[in-house]
Every structure is written in structure tokens, then in C-alpha cells.
Amino acid sequence: MIRDTCKIRAFVLVAFLAMHGNANAGSIQAKQVNDNHDIEKVNTQKNLSLLDYNQLLEVKQQLNSSKYAFLYKKLLSSADQALKEGPFSVVNKTQAPPSGDKHDYLSLGPYWWPDPDKADGLPWIRRDGEVNPLTRGDNVDEPRKNNMFGNVNKLSLAYFFSDDEKYAKKTIELLKVWFLNPETKMNPNLNFAQGIPGTNTGRGIGIIEFGGIANVANAIEILELNNAIGAADSKALRAWIESYLDWLQHSEFGVFERTRLNNHGTHYDVQVSSLLLFLNRKEEAKKYLESVTIPRIEGQIEPDGKQPHELARTKSLSYSTMNLSGFVELARLGKKVDVDLWAYSVENGSSLQKAFEYLEPYVKGEKQWEYKQLGNIDDSFKKLRGLFKKAGSIFGVDAYCKQFKPKGINNYSDLLYTCN
């Protein structure tokens, strides 16, 4: 039943998204870096495009309180460790991408394995939910990319809250090595992400690996707030992101990913919307959320709140949480441009709130999860509880804040999304 429903919805939504993509193609074709978008304008105003600046200031003024002191200490501890790590670069991988240019990002599909029935193992075969360690080694960029995104995030936040320049300097070093220095920089594309040996050299679904690019955007703005980064470096980083967004919107892989009907399409929208907002293209972000993201709600969430495309996976709870986390982020970004995705409801009753209502009895322990879930399901429920708390913070749902505050967890990200 789930798969049949997916097929029906898939046909309708793919047709819409494909039509939308073609309609936009002429209007967004290869805009020059400086064309109509003042990417040279640094963040001279006291504000942040993606985060809630005023809320962060309030937290900053209360860092020594019992509510935040431990979280702040944990953030600084993580940032101090990050000071000792990196920098990271795509040129350090041991395997060259098909282009022969190590500046191109390279990764392999995580759930693909050598075929044991073939002497050369080719083509690799899929084992959904089972990560092949060969796809997470020094031969590819995925692990060091994760380190770069994660460390840039914690270091820039540590700088914002502490005003200690050592964190700013390390953040700038990481950004320059990964994005700017001619010897070490990454080319602004994901042409060779999540390839499958023996089948292809890259896939559009590899775009999801760059979800952490929002951390980079946040870091750049935090550095700009106090003029901690030079104007030339700021402009160059913004130019790189502009080029990457152009590839994201216009490349064959990008157009493909936009039409995906599951978590891939959702998180593609997060990247596009985040970067449009970061580049001060607010009207484009607003139109994108209204014309592309809103139809996803009907296409991916049932009237009873089920997410059928995610429930069909071997890690159904993990993917249901992951997809919903993307929608929460999109709804948070929507608040920046007056698009209320949280309150939006399709005529048939599908909505983000319905998706939370469906999952609520499971996370409360009132019902047992009846779909397939490989791995430790407790870890998945822990992430889901954190998502309920985040939604409670962002959208003012007090019941979520009180009931789903993760017990025994003190994640410094709680400094960004606080409950009263």
C-alpha cells in the first residue's frame, strides 16, 4: 500500500516539479557572479540571514546562568578540540576523481558494495541501510567534508559567544583552505558525489552530502559581524557560494535532485533556500518556498501524518526523522520571508504538524514502531526527541519543549534553539 501510494504521488509531484524547473530555467540561467546580486556587500548590519540574531544575543547575555553555563562550557570544549584539527582539503584524498582533478569533490554511494559474485566486484550492488566502510575512508572527501562543516560550525559559534579571536582565526583558516586557496580549494560542484563503481561516476542524490553548507554561510556572517574577516576573503567566499548555488540550480544533477520525492528533495530545498537568503535574494527564496516546497508537503506527507517514501526504507524511523527535520528547517527559513510552512495545511489535511502528531505516540512510548529500522532504534528516538524540542522552540509549541527535552543530553546546539 505504501509503495502504491508513493507511485501515485510521485507521478503528480514529479510532473509539477519538472515543469517548474523548466519554467525557471530561462530566468535563472547562469547569472554572473556580480549580476543583480550584490555579493560584494558584506554583512555590515547587525543581523544574520539564517539564524535568529536577537535570540542569540539574549543567550549570550545569560551564558553564566544555570540554564546555559554547561552548554556554553561544552561548546568551548568542542571548539578547543577543533583548534587542534585540520585544516581539511579535497586535494588530500588518496583517490583521484574521474576528472583527474583532485579539486573536484569525490564520494561513493554509502549503501553500495562490491558484487561478491563478480571477480572484479563490478558493478557494485545496493544493500540499503548498510554503510560500506570503503565509502568513508581517506580515498574520498566525505569524512573530511564532515569534519570541515562541523568544526566551522562549533568554532564560529564559540567566537560569537566568547568574542575570543582564536576561534575566528581558526574558522578563517578552515574556510580559506577548503574554499579559496588555489592549491587546496574545492571546485564549486558535486559532479562526482555518491558515484557507484561500475555504473556511474556521480549522482544527483550526492547533493545531500553538502547540507552543512549552511554552517559555512552562518560562519561567514558571524565573522563579518565584528569585521573579523577581511573584505577580500569575505567577497571571495560569497562568490564561491554564488557559483555553487548556480551549479545547484542549473546542473543536470541539481535539476534531478529538485524533483526527488523524499528526503533528498526536501534537503535540496534547504540548501537552495538557505543560500538564496544568505546571498540576500529574499524574493527568490520566498517564491521558491511557495512554488516548490509547499507542494512537497502534499507529495510526501499523508493526511494522517505518515511519510510513505521514508517508511519504505530499511531505516524508516531514521529517514522519517531526517525528512521531517528538513521540513522544520524550511519552515524556520520561511519565517524569514513570511512563508508560514508550519501552519500550512493541504485540503486533504496533510501538514507538518500532522507529521509530528503521527510520530508523537511513538516517541512517547505509547506505541511500538512497526516499520523496519536497522541499527539502534534508541539512537533514532533520541534524534526524534531532539527534533520535537527544536520544533517547540522555533514555533512556540510549549508542550514539545516541556515533554521532549532530551534527558541526559546537553548538546551545545541547544544554544541556538532555546525553550522558555
Q: 376 pLDDT band (50/70/90 cuts)?
A: very high
- Count CB-CB contacts under 10 A for residue 259: 20
Using the Cα atoms of residue 136, residue 262, residue 340 and residue 414 in order, give the sign of their dihedral.
negative
Comparing CA positions, the residue from 189, 299, 202 lying closest to residue 251 is 189
In a domain, 39, yes or no: no
Buried b (16+ CB within 10 A) or exposed e, 146-156: ebbbebbbbbb
Using the Cα atoms of residue 368, residue 327, residue 1 and residue 109 in order, give the sign of their dihedral.
negative
Give the model's pLDDT for residue 409.
52
Query: What is the spatial distance between Cα 142 and Cα 120, in angstroms, rounded to a whole number?
Result: 24
For the residues 111-123, what does the mean pLDDT come to? 97
In a domain, 413, yes or no: yes
The reply to whether the predicted model has a pTM over 0.85 is yes
Give the model's pLDDT for residue 406.
56
Comparing CA positions, the residue from 254, 247, 383 lying closest to residue 325 is 383
Give the model's pLDDT for residue 26.
38
Same domain, 225 and 319: no
Same domain, 338 and 247: no
Sequence-distant (6+) residues with CB within 8 A of 420 are: 398, 401
* pLDDT of 101 over the 80 cut: yes
Cis peptide before 110 (omega within 30 of 0): no
Give the model's pLDDT for residue 418.
85
Where is the domain boundary, 259, 294, 315?
A: 259
Same domain, 25 and 49: no
DSSP-assigned letters across all residues of 319-360: HHHHHHHHHHHHHHHHGGGT--TTT-B-TTS-BHHHHHHHHH
Mean pLDDT of the chain: 90
Same domain, 118 and 235: yes
Same domain, 255 and 382: no
Give the model's pLDDT for residue 212.
96
Per residue in 33-57, pLDDT tens? Answer: 334 344 444 544 578 999 999 999 9
Same domain, 62 and 198: yes
Per residue in 245-291, pLDDT tens? Answer: 999 999 999 999 999 999 999 999 999 999 999 999 999 999 999 99
Strands 112-113 and 192-195: unpaired
In a domain, 181, yes or no: yes
Residue 238 near residue 220 (C-beta atoms within 8 A)? yes
Where is the domain boundary, 205, 226, 259?
A: 259
In a domain, 79, yes or no: yes
Task: Give backbone dihedrals phi and psi of 374, rounded to 5 degrees, phi first.
Answer: -70, 150
In a domain, 340, yes or no: yes
In a domain, 267, yes or no: no
For the residues 129-143, what does the mean pLDDT come to? 96
Same domain, 14 and 79: no
Same domain, 214 and 288: no
Give the model's pLDDT for residue 7.
45
Give the model's pLDDT for residue 23.
41
Same domain, 251 and 300: no
Same domain, 362 and 327: yes
Could you give the number of structural domains in the chain? 2
Radius of gyration in angstroms for the set of CA atoms belonging to the chain, rounded to a whole number: 21
In a domain, 270, yes or no: no
Strands 192-195 and 106-108: parallel
Residue 354 near residue 301 (C-beta atoms within 8 A)? yes
Per residue in 51-95, pLDDT tens? Answer: 999 999 999 999 999 989 999 999 999 999 999 999 999 999 999
What is the CATH classification number for the domain harbouring 19?
Answer: 1.50.10.100
**Domain carrying residue 95:** 44-259
In a domain, 380, yes or no: yes
Comparing CA positions, the residue from 9, 201, 230, 43 lying closest to residue 108 is 201
* pLDDT of 20 over the 90 cut: no
Helix (H, G, I), strand (E, B) or coil at 3: helix
Per residue in 138-188, pLDDT tens? Answer: 999 999 999 999 999 999 999 999 999 999 999 999 999 999 999 999 999
Per residue in 314-366, pLDDT tens? Answer: 999 999 999 999 999 999 999 999 999 999 999 999 999 999 999 999 999 99
* pLDDT of 22 over the 90 cut: no
Where is the domain boundary, 206, 228, 259?
A: 259
Q: 301 pLDDT band (50/70/90 cuts)?
A: very high
* pLDDT of 124 over the 50 cut: yes
Give the model's pLDDT for residue 270.
98
Same domain, 86 and 152: yes
Same domain, 294 and 190: no
Per residue in 205-250, pLDDT tens? Answer: 999 999 999 999 999 999 999 999 999 999 999 999 999 999 999 9
For the residues 10-18, what does the mean pLDDT come to? 46
